[in-house]
Amino acid sequence: MMSKRRFNRILLCSASTLLASAMAVAQSQPGGGGGQSGMPSQQPGAPSPGAMDPNAGSSSQQSMVDQAFVRKALEGGAAEVQLGQLAQQKSQSEDVKQFGQKMVQDHTQLGDQIKPIAQQLGVKEPKGPSKKDKQLMAKLEALSGPQFDEAYIQAMVKDHKQDMKDFKDAAQVTQDPNVKQVAQQGAGVISQHLQMIQQIAQSHNVDVNGKSK
C-alpha cells in the first residue's frame, strides 16, 4: 500500500506539471500574456496596415499631369530650337533671323532648366519632334523668301499662344514647387516671344488670325 505522504507528493507534482503546461499554452497564443507574438494585436476600429491612403490616387494623377506637361515642354522646346535654326538659314529678313536666333538661345536655356525636373519625375527626353512639328518643318523647308517668312511667323504666333496657355495652366494646377517655378519662368519667356513675333508680323503685313497658306 502507498503511504499517504507519498500519494500527496505525487498529486502535488502532477498539479505543478499541469499548471506549467497551461501557462506555456497560454503564452504561445497570439496576444497571450507575457508572450512575444510576431504580429501585434490590432485594436478594434484601427485602420488596417494595408489600408490605401485616400490621397494616393489624387497624388498619382497630379504626378501624371506634371509628367505630361514636362514631356510636352521638352518636345516643343526642342522643336522651337530646330525651327529657329531653320529661320536663320532660310529667311532673308534680318528681324526674322534675329527672332530665330533668340528661339535657339531661350528655348535651349529653358530646356536645360526642365531636364533635371524631367529626371526627377521619370520623364525621358523626347527622341525627336512630334509628328505635327515634323510636318511643319517639312513645309517650311520647301519654302523660301517672303513665303517662308509668312509661314514661319504664322506658325510662331500660333505655337506661342498655345505654349503660353500650357505653361500658365501648369503653374496654377501643379503642386510640385519645381514644376511651378519653371512653368512660371517659361510663361514669362514665352510671353516676350509672343510680343516680339506679333510685332514682326505687323511689320511684314502677315495675317496671324487667318489660316496658314
- Which domains, from first to last, does the chain contain? 58-203 (1.20.1260.10)
- What confidence tens digit (pLDDT) does each residue in 112-165 have? 999 999 999 999 998 888 999 999 999 999 999 999 999 999 999 999 999 999
pLDDT attached to residue 17: 52
pLDDT attached to residue 124: 93
Q: What single DSSP character describes residue 118? A: H
Rounded Cα–Cα distance for residues 87 and 85 (Å): 5
pLDDT attached to residue 22: 47
With a cut of 80, say whether residue 67 has pLDDT above it: yes
With a cut of 80, say whether residue 23 has pLDDT above it: no
- From 79, 77, 75, 67, select the one nearest 170 (Cα to Cα): 67
64-89: average pLDDT: 96
Please state the pTM of the whole predicted model.
0.71
With a cut of 90, say whether residue 21 has pLDDT above it: no
pLDDT attached to residue 9: 52
Percentage of residues in the chain having pLDDT higher than 70: 71
pLDDT attached to residue 128: 83
Selection from 31-45, 56-70, 100-114 with the highest mean pLDDT: 100-114
With a cut of 60, say whether residue 111 has pLDDT above it: yes
Secondary structure (DSSP) of 35-76:
---SSPPPPTTPPPTTPPPTTHHHHHHHHHHHHHHHHHHHHH
Q: Which three cell numbers stand for residue 155?
A: 506658325
Rounded Cα–Cα distance for residues 82 and 57 (Å): 38
Rounded Cα–Cα distance for residues 75 and 130 (Å): 7
pLDDT attached to residue 34: 43
